[in-house]
Structure 1
Amino acid sequence: MNTKLSSKRFSGGYESVNTNSSKVFILFRRKKSTEIQINDGVTPITVTWENIEVKTRKKGKALLNRVSGIAKPGEMVALMGASGAGKTTLLNVLMDRNMKGLEKKGTVKVNGKAIGEKISLISGFAQQQEIFIPTLTVKEYLMIQRPAALTTTPRASVNTEEQVTDIKCTRLQAKLRMKANKATRIERVEEIMDMLGLQKCRNSKIGNPGLVKGISGGEARRLTFACELLSNPSLLFADEPTSGLDSFMAATVVQIMRDLANSGRTLIAIIHQPTADLYFQFDKIIFLSLGRTAFIGTPEESIQFFSDCGHPIPKNFNPPEWIQEKLSVQPTDEMESYQRIKDIIQVFETTKFSKTSTIELQMIPSTKLPPFSENPGFFVETGALLKRASIDVVRSPAQMRMKLIQKIVMGLFIGSLYWQQPLDWRGVRNTNSALYFLIAELTFSTMFGIMTFMEHELPLIAREYHDGLFYVISYYVSRCLSYLPLFTFDGAVMVLISYWMIGLNNTWQQVLKSILIAVLVEQSATSCGLFLACLFETTSVAIAFAVPISGLFALLSGLYGNTNNFPVYIQWMQWTSWFRYGFEGLVVNQWTKIDNPKFSNFFRNFILDQFSFKADNYHLDVIGLGSIVLFFYVAGYVALLVRIRMSR
């Protein structure tokens, strides 16, 4: 039997009434402010989506089926439904991201215009997973996060559809914005921290749960919103902003969203199991089930609708939980569940709620868009990111300390093992072994170490790129520069420690040349490891490829066999090995400038001929190593760029 619910609104809650002799519960809540005031810099945005259909390319499985809806300025819209209902897919369609392997039909428009992936330039996205640099403080992170957004200089607006694809802030405008004094930037950050209640933790490190002590989960969630508000977006998306928070912190986050909506912004959020109080804070609820729209309307209307469908809310039961239960497939009774959901969807499509939504979609005029945000330029971005990366490296002393200790220990070990080698055949052989050992140590620890540093940063890079914060090349260059001292200084220390202990050629020119070779070898290993880390999704896969690659390069060094005696189809591969260039460079540097009457040219040439080395090849070795470094750094950037773009 259908049960109708009528309710009248009053200050402080909703009053229950008797309908068909059924007593419906009394639900009290805080009074929701409906007064909207458009703030400066906020352009009203209406987002519409019509007949959205999404299916997988391989299996053709339908994820969304003829889904339509609208979100207006000042509205806080909740996407709700059981797991697998299509909430995340719909949110991704609206933001035009994470659509890899999916086929999409239908239209998404912003103020009556289809702008595709450029929607990220006028919107913010508060993701469920907080991804930050854990060693930075809250204020430091906000100051660096959007270097071009921390000014109040207005930008050009978009008034015609043709301008949508052509509009770009000029580089001069970007540079002028970046010249805003430091006080202006600090004022903007202070304003946002005040707004979101982050002043108490402003100087606290963000941290990483379970690894680095930092701010609380609620503060981290508010920091996520703060990062998005730096650019003052008129449209804000959020993915389960209340999940994982206690009731108080969840209410705080929703109140922040409510205040943002009251300022004229449009908010669209996925909400999972809200309390009754939070449920009624939203202006519009969109329930999805089995990839279709089951309801669109206000929270109050949802209670009426499901009561009309024969599913009245029981006394003292949380309305959203009850509704989601009725829209879920029960494993113990799938047939009945599917039929119930199908009936609810059919009823919705014939009600005023569906018809009202259709009429609204047809009546949305084409109005101006807010200005698209613009990157401030390569050098400004790189400078900001380099500062962020450098702080992270400096505040991670364990990495620097362990690498330095490792190289000091290995330098002492190599020096002790090959202590003061004489100029005889045994001494020459041991010296060459020591030189090769230096190349190997500079390679393996560095190559595998850089891979472990990269994996945890890739989600942050992808998010910031797709949010329009930074270019990939700006991040890549800044990160490479921040790692430069970490993967350069330690190798030079190891060579210097072992150099005089072994008894190598003791002139300052030869010492500097050896250090140069060591630096280039370590950078070759760094760039190759970085390339593999950018190419493969996980560290384990990258290491699996790195082991045979580094082993092959080691075999081509010349120590294990004269490369001229290798088969012709293998000989050319030696010119791709930094082991070959590095080992030859150190051997040539050691034996071509020996100032000892016992050491004849014949003796020197005989030593070099064992490895197919030439006395005048030092500079060619330096060029070869430099070319390898350049090649792998460029290849690493290309691999990272392709990987990040494909992730959209």
Structure 2
Amino acid sequence: MAMPPNSVVPTTEHTTMEVPVKPHHDAHSPSFLRLGLYPITLKFEDVVYKVKVEGKGTCCGGEVSMKEKTILNGVTGKVSPGELLAMLGPSGSGKTTLLTALGGRLKGKLPGKITYNSRPFCGSMKRRTGFVTQDDVLYAHLTVTETLLFTAMLRLPNSISQDEKLEHVERVITELGLTRCKNSMIGGPLFRGISGGEKKRVSIGQEMLINPSLLLLDEPTSGLDSTTAQRILTTIKRLASGGRTVVTTIHQPSSRLYHMFDKLVLLSEGSPIYYGPASTALEYFSSFGYGTSITVNPADLLLDLANGIAPDVMQEHEQAETTEKDQKLVRQKLLTAYETNISTRLKADLCGLDVSNHINQAKEVATRNHVNSEQWCTSWCHQFHVLLLRGVRERRFESFNRLRIFQVISVAILGGLLWWHTPTSHIEDRVAMIFFFSVFWGFYPLYNAVFTFPQERRMLIKERSSGMYRLSSYFLARTIGDLPLELALPTAFTFILYWMGGLKADPATFVLSLLVVLYNVLVAQSLGLAIGAILMDVKQATTLASVTTLVFLIAGGYYVQQIPPFIVWLKYLSYSYYCYKLLLGVQYNENDLYECSKGVYCHVVDFPAVKSVGLTNLTVDLLILAMMLVGYRLVAYMALQKVR
């Protein structure tokens, strides 16, 4: 398609942005911040991404055909240090997919070429890249300062002192205008915290802590009012002017926001229809008949074009909808114009681009900064310590809330009143009370643990994608951090019900019974963690947990004492069965007697509910529970490794 003589072809470079600007830090900044940024020139050439989706299958054969859907189709561009590139397009045009690919987070086959100073993405580049997701994934019960401080402790190297990290956090809080709310909790669905704009600035602040050279933001103004959105983008623009390479997706910016962009990529159904300076985009489209005589927000006009709607149609027929055929014709014309006027020249510029100056400068800065080439910038022990401290701080309100305490204590007191000082002759009631111990503390911790990983899935993906910590340090900190909180309530429960119920009044027996109950809690919690980690969906996990606990309840050795041989294996899978047997073994031995009728004494071991499980081989039962404890947690850990 030939261009008119007076057409405007967008240039691919800003002459004023050739030399990156170093950020300004005063003498009181931490040493690693006073040094220059590692300048990154980001190039992406012919990026293509396809996914397989289910097509329409046959009605009777049950076969489902798979077809490929193109999400990105040959997107090309370049961003230099000091520039702000905006990716604009309607919903589903591939903006977030492209941003994810540029951040090195897109899994699967990715034809095309993405380079950072002419090099592929690597672990050291990940530590220099800040990625702000569209949704603000933050811990609700941490304050703004705590959120940023824990992030700094995990993402900044051990060579930086704790005082320097705290000082850096304070500087970021001041820089982002969060001083007023720095001691306020983030907030969540159940209680109000800071505002949406403040949450977005906290998310940006988490990435700014590492002083990133490349900053990627996914729709940072989504859901914010015009004034707050301008404040956010003004902050982003200031970060770019400090020498950073900044790329952001944006859905429908106001005209004030649009004029802050240096470069623009306009996508239509995954294909680029414009790349170049944002200031010349309207002139470019006007040069082949897609201009408008009225004053409009440039972003609105560009989005109409990306949707295949010509501006003259919108003016003449505001209420009429364009046909799908008309939209395809407009898109085809725009794609042809892009290939003719932008694509060829852009690829030629990228091929002939000499980035040696940027590479040399990057090497100098890296040398001064002593850039760590290792995969992790902090040790395993440091990560474990910080994650443990953060986990306890975050869940202190959740674990010891009044409702949970009331729930457990009220059940213990009610059970103690129902089994009040049960005589030794009432063997049925005493055995039922022992089984209740194994059932309640086999199911209650399981249902609590099922929610653990599904609720933290988004946080785990976000932080692991940023290379903040090892999965093993997170898993161990998460499970150990829960122990004091999860074991306190069963301890109180056992203290109350054991003595009110009139079980064997011997301190050693009580301590052993308590240890068995706590052991059972850990095994039940392990199974809950495994179910949650495998399914990563709260509804599915609770459904599976319900079925599992009901099976374990029935096969626990108390309700059904003569299980048919073909299904007897079920009881050996039930940890409630082993806990029940161990509690009986602690309370009784094979020589104990009870008054089975007036003046007649019988062996406890012959009572049907005891005989069905027996009082022997208790050491084997302990080992089986230990295998369950370790096995379930290993399954949970391996399942978390597959979370993407």
Normalising by the smaller structure, the TM-score range is 0.7 to 0.9
CA contact (8 A) 2:41 2:116 kept: yes
**Any conservation in 2 of the 1:239–1:269 contact (CA below 8 Å)?**
yes
Aligned Cα RMSD in Å? Answer: 2.8
1:585-605 deviation digits (Å, cap 9, x = unpaired): 111111129988979996133
Alignment of 1:93-492 (within 5 A): 93-99=101-107, 103-115=109-121, 119-150=125-156, 176-177=158-159, 180-208=160-188, 210-329=189-308, 332-351=322-341, 354-365=344-355, 367=359, 371=371, 374-396=376-398, 400-424=401-425, 427-492=426-491
Counterpart-to-counterpart distance in 2, 1:384 and 1:306: 53
Q: What secondary structure sits across from 2:261 in the alignment?
A: coil
Distance in 2 of aligned mates of 1:35 and 1:365: 11
Shift of 1:320: 1.4
Task: Please give the secondary structure, in 1, of the residue aligned with 2:454.
Answer: helix
Would you say the 8 A contact 1:589–1:618 is kept in 2?
no
Cα offsets for 1:364-404 (capped at 9, x unmatched): 4463576456241221111111111111121336x532222
In structure 2, stretches of 5+ residues that fail to align are 10-15, 24-34, 53-65, 310-320
> Post-superposition shift, 1:52?
1.4
Q: How big is the shift at 1:608?
A: 7.7
Q: CA deviation at 1:121?
A: 2.9
* Structure-1 residue corresponding to 2:313: none
Corresponding residue SS for 1:146 = helix
Per the alignment, residue 67 of structure 2 pairs with 59
Please report how far the alpha carbon of residue 329 of structure 1 lies from its aligned counterpart in structure 2 after TM superposition: 3.8
| Contact 2:49–2:109 (Cα < 8 Å) also in 1 | yes
Say whether 1:46 aligns with 2:30: no
Identity %: 27
Taking the aligned partners of 1:37 and 1:347, their CA distance within structure 2 comes to 35
Whichever residue aligns with residue 350 of structure 1, its letter is T
Letter in 1 for 2:270: G
TM-score by length of 1: 0.84
Partners of 1:450 and 1:530 within 8 A in 2: yes
Cα offsets for 1:598-648 (capped at 9, x unmatched): 799961332388434443444433333233222212211111222x2xx2x
Give the structure-2-normalised TM-score.
0.85
- Aligned-partner Cα distance in 2 for 1:207–1:139: 13
Q: 1:116 to 1:343 in 2, by over 3 A?
A: farther
CA gap 1:604/1:597 in 2 versus in 1, 3 angstroms: closer
> Taking structure 1 as reference, are residues 193 and 313 closer, same or farther at Cα in structure 2, changes over 3 Å only?
farther
DSSP 3-state at the match of 2:110: strand
**Where does structure 1 lack aligned partners over 5 or more consecutive residues?**
8-31, 151-173
Q: Which amino acid aligns with 1:403?
A: R
Structure 2 CA distance for aligned equivalents of residues 315 and 353 of structure 1: 29
Secondary structure, aligned partner of 1:623: helix
Q: In the TM superposition, what whole-angstrom CA distance separates every residue of 1:74-96 from its partner, at most 9, and x where no partner exists?
A: 11000011222221221122223
SS at match of 2:607: helix
Q: Tell whether 2:597 aligns with 1:591.
A: no
Question: What is residue 26 of structure 2 aligned with on the other side?
Answer: none
Distance 1:183 1:146, change over 3 A: closer
- Deviation string, structure 1 residues 215-239 (Cα, Å, up to 9, x no partner): 1111111111110011111101000
Conserved in 1, the CA contact under 8 Å of 2:8 and 2:284? Answer: no
Structure 1 residue 576 corresponds to structure 2 residue 576: no
Paired AA for residue 623 in structure 1: L
Measure how far apart 1:4 and its partner are: 6.2
* Paired residue secondary structure (1:559): coil
**Residues 46 and 73, structure 2, Cα contact 8 Å, conserved in 1:** yes
- The C-alpha deviation readout for 1:73-128, integer Å capped at 9, x for no partner, is 111000011222221221122223244xx642111111111226764332010111
| Cα gap change, 1:411 to 1:338, in 2 (>3 Å) | same
Q: Which has the higher mean CA deviation after the structures are superposed, 249-258 or 126-135?
A: 249-258
C-alpha displacement at 1:579, in angstroms?
0.8
Structure 2 SS opposite 1:215 = coil
Aligned residues: 586
Task: Give the AA of the match of 1:456.
Answer: Q
User: Cα deviations across residues 263-305 of structure 1 (Å, max 9, x unaligned)?
Assistant: 1110011012112222121111111112211111112221210
Return the alpha-carbon distance in structure 1 between the equivalents of residues 594 and 252 of structure 2: 87
Question: Structure 2: how far apart are the matches of 1:476 and 1:200?
Answer: 35
